């Protein structure tokens, strides 16, 4: 009896410590806000309502006490009347070890209560504006994610169990994994030894037929006896490697495009080194899509081509087309934009990283020349989904000593690219900070005033419903900017999985609605959900713009001979 009493007292002491931990976490967050007020608005916000904060603290203490009592009841074999469940999709505490021991069962539920408290506290704190509020939410999530008991050896029962079962080998393996990743300067997300660009990823047959200091132009070999007269030029994003569109044959969007009877060309951006640190936005337009469109037309001997841009590649492509339009050149018959922003009013959480102070600092250091390192970009995108792309691997690689599984998409995710400083600074200021591209005539590129409203070709717009990089409602705003007939399609899932959704696997779904004059939410309310991949819908649409069928031709011409096999050497260059 005395022993049981002592256990209960120890348990109660632990409960009180976790109540204090939640308040301590919140106090650290408040202290940070006080020291960094300019980052959350131009002036420090007014003080928080003390009554609201007191009410939240009381709520936390009541809930922690209820949880403690439920744990005591569980020890006595009684039914628990109070449980704290993780949010949907949170797998950190899914293993049975978190519930087999009353200590760890209590530990993770107490943490979840503290996280709720922190999130609720953010909502009662005053903020200068909506962006300031979003910054506080983002920071609170980063603090909460970092403090999870699953991230620490002493509070992770999976670590303890595995260490005992392996007689400490898992600890040794974890330390070795940590040392290797420290040497690489990044967290390993996949078994990188399994993949090789050009060998088992990016294997669609083709050749580089043109190159300059910004990009290589790849022409892919035909897979059908006949092709449409109009070729298709693909412009991927320059902030990562193009082979996300050509991973392996069964999930390659590029191969699918070729299989549909398109003569496909693709811009493979160079991974810039110091020698390319002077390149700016105009260089990427002129020596990227504009150069590529000229060469594609010369090779295929046509006046018009179809063009497709993905993410920032779509922004670059559309800007380049506006330059050509101003020069009187209507060389694109149809335009496809995949998860692309033209109106940057709402850029999701990425926009939280971009403000006048930050951009001015970048402009002062790399705005005239230099590089925005790939590591900075990779870390930014990873911490947008920290539990999935950071702490998941901290736990698996270092605490459990596991070797990451081979996954082509995560290999691509780790193959980051640098950006030239002038390009990056111009892009962040004029797009993310000032949202200038949507305003006719406000921006000048390649000596021409940009007016996206002058683009009147048919347009296929794809957004994805769970996209945290290009919110689908923001992508929908392109229907208000471009003047051609628009087909807007909303895919399921996120920025990558929603786009790379092979038709053959018949997974997920997409929404269609021909009426695009309503607002985004009105469009979705009236939209029809279609099972399967949007690839099939796009294939039907692009066929209407491919022109007459003709016999497929070999790669290149006498003038544009094959320089090297696809995927080329530019995509193989890794950031250092």
**Mean pLDDT value of segment 122-129:** 84
Here the tokens at position 282 are 């105009």
The angle formed by the CA atoms of residues 451, 452 and 455, to the nearest 5 degrees, is 110
Find tokens 């690219």 and name the residue: 417
* Rounded Cα–Cα distance for residues 282 and 320 (Å): 9
* Rounded Cα–Cα distance for residues 155 and 391 (Å): 14
* Rounded Cα–Cα distance for residues 396 and 392 (Å): 6
Residue 163 and residue 154 in contact, taking contact as beta carbons nearer than 8 Å: no
* Rounded Cα–Cα distance for residues 20 and 566 (Å): 59
Residue 461 β-bridge partners: 337, 488
Nearest to 464 by CA among 436, 432, 428, 490: 490
Structure confidence by residue, pLDDT tens digits, 392-450? 999 999 999 999 999 999 999 989 999 999 999 999 999 999 999 999 999 999 999 99
Find tokens 């892919």 and name the residue: 220
pLDDT value at position 72?
85
Here the tokens at position 306 are 């179809």
Give CA torsion, residues 213, 365, 319, 482, to 10 deg.
Answer: 150
Find tokens 């600074």 and name the residue: 425
DSSP one-letter string for 201-236: BS---EEEEEE-SSEEEEEEPPSSSEEESS-EEEE-
Structure confidence by residue, pLDDT tens digits, 190-211? 998 999 999 999 999 999 999 9
* Neighbour count for residue 491 (Cβ, 10 Å): 26
Lowest-confidence pick of 39-48, 213-222, 479-488? 39-48
Nearest to 205 by CA among 560, 562, 533, 504: 562
Q: How many CA atoms lie within 13 A of 401 on its CB side?
A: 18
Mean pLDDT of the residues in the chain: 90
pLDDT value at position 25?
57
SS3 487: strand
**Mean pLDDT value of segment 23-29:** 57
Structure confidence by residue, pLDDT tens digits, 355-370? 899 999 999 999 999 9
**Identified catalytic residue from 311, 425, 446, 546:** 311
Residue 423 and residue 312 in contact, taking contact as beta carbons nearer than 8 Å: no
Could you say which DSSP state residue 264 is in? E
**Mean pLDDT value of segment 542-548:** 96
The angle formed by the CA atoms of residues 348, 354 and 358, to the nearest 5 degrees, is 165
pLDDT value at position 326?
98
* Rounded Cα–Cα distance for residues 126 and 410 (Å): 39
Domain range 206-371+418-572, its CATH number among 3.30.70.20, 3.30.930.10, 3.40.50.150, 3.40.50.1820: 3.40.50.1820
pLDDT value at position 7?
45
**Mean pLDDT value of segment 152-159:** 94
pLDDT value at position 46?
58
**Mean pLDDT value of segment 4-21:** 47
Residue 292 and residue 233 in contact, taking contact as beta carbons nearer than 8 Å: yes
Count, residues in the chain: 576
pLDDT value at position 183?
87
pLDDT value at position 47?
66
Give the residue range(s) of CATH 3.40.50.1820 domains in the chain: 206-371+418-572
Active site residue 446: no
Residue 500 and residue 254 in contact, taking contact as beta carbons nearer than 8 Å: no
Residue 33 and residue 128 in contact, taking contact as beta carbons nearer than 8 Å: no
Torsions phi, psi for 269 (to 5 deg): -70, 145
Structure confidence by residue, pLDDT tens digits, 174-184? 999 999 988 88
SS3 337: strand
Asked whether the predicted pLDDT for residue 35 surpasses 80, the reply is no
Q: Which of 23-27, 101-105, 349-353, 509-513 has the highest mean pLDDT?
A: 509-513
Structure confidence by residue, pLDDT tens digits, 467-496? 999 999 999 999 999 999 999 999 999 999
Lowest-confidence pick of 88-92, 300-304, 380-384? 380-384
Residue 465 and residue 521 in contact, taking contact as beta carbons nearer than 8 Å: no
Nearest to 318 by CA among 423, 450, 421, 435: 450
DSSP one-letter string for 353-374: G--HHHHHHHHHHHTTS-EE-H
Structure confidence by residue, pLDDT tens digits, 255-293? 999 999 999 999 999 999 999 999 999 999 999 999 999
pLDDT value at position 136?
87
**Rounded alpha-carbon distances, angstroms, from residue 466 to 86, 196, 375, 469:** 20, 30, 25, 9
pTM of the model: 0.89
Nearest to 461 by CA among 489, 497, 438, 498: 489
pLDDT value at position 29?
58
pLDDT value at position 11?
44
């Amino acid at each position: 009896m005395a022993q049981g009493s002592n256990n209960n007292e120890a348990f109660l002491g632990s409960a009180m410590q976790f109540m204090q931990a939640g308040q301590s976490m919140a106090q650290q967050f408040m202290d940070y806000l006080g020291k960094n007020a300019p980052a959350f608005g131009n002036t420090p916000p007014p003080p928080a309502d003390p009554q609201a904060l007191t009410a939240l603290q009381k709520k936390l203490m009541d809930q922690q006490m209820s949880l403690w009592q439920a744990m005591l009841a569980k020890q006595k074999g009684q039914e628990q009347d109070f449980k704290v469940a993780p949010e949907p999709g949170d797998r950190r505490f899914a293993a049975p070890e978190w519930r087999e021991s009353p200590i760890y069962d209590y530990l993770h539920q107490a943490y979840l209560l503290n996280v709720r408290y922190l999130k609720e506290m953010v909502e009662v704190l005053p903020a200068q504006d909506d962006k300031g509020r979003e910054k506080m939410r983002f920071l609170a999530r980063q603090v909460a994610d970092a403090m999870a008991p699953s991230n620490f050896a002493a509070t992770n029962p999976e670590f303890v169990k595995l260490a005992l079962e392996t007689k400490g080998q898992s600890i040794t393996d974890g330390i070795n994994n940590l040392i290797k990743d420290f040497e690489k300067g990044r967290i390993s997300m996949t078994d990188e030894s399994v993949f090789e660009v050009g060998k088992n990823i990016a294997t669609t047959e083709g050749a580089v037929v043109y190159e300059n200091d910004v990009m290589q132009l790849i022409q892919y070999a035909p897979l059908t006896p006949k092709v449409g007269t109009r070729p298709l030029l693909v412009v991927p994003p320059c902030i990562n490697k193009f082979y996300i569109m050509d991973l392996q044959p069964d999930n390659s969007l590029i191969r699918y495009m070729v299989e549909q009877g398109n003569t496909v060309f693709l811009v493979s951006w160079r991974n810039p080194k110091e020698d390319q640190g002077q390149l700016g936005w105009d260089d990427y337009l002129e020596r990227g899509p504009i150069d590529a469109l000229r060469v594609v037309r010369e090779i295929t001997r046509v006046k018009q081509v179809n063009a497709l841009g993905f993410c920032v590649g779509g922004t670059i492509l559309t800007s380049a087309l506006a330059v050509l339009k101003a020069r009187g050149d209507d060389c694109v018959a149809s335009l496809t934009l995949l998860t692309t922003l033209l109106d940057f009013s709402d850029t999701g959480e990425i926009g939280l990283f971009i403000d006048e102070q930050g951009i001015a600092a970048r402009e002062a250091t790399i705005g005239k020349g230099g590089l925005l390192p790939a590591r900075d970009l990779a870390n930014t995108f990873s911490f947008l989904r920290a539990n999935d792309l950071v702490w998941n691997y901290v736990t698996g690689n270092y605490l459990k000593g596991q070797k990451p599984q081979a996954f082509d998409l995560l290999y691509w995710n780790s193959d980051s690219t640098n950006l030239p400083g002038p390009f990056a600074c111009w892009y962040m200021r004029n797009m993310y900070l000032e949202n200038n591209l949507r305003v006719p005539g406000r921006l000048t590129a390649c000596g021409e005033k940009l007016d996206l409203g002058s683009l009147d070709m048919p347009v296929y717009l794809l957004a994805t419903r769970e996209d945290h990089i290009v919110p689908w409602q923001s992508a929908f705003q392109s229907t208000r900017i471009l003047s051609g007939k628009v087909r807007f399609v909303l895919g399921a899932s996120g920025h990558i999985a929603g786009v790379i959704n092979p038709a053959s696997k018949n997974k997920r779904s997409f929404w269609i609605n021909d009426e695009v004059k309503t607002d985004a939410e009105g469009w979705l309310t009236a939209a029809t959900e279609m099972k399967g991949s949007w690839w099939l819908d796009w294939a039907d649409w692009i066929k209407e713009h491919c022109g007459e069928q003709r016999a497929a031709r070999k790669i290149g011409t006498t003038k544009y001979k094959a320089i090297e096999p696809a995927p080329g050497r530019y995509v193989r260059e890794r950031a250092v």
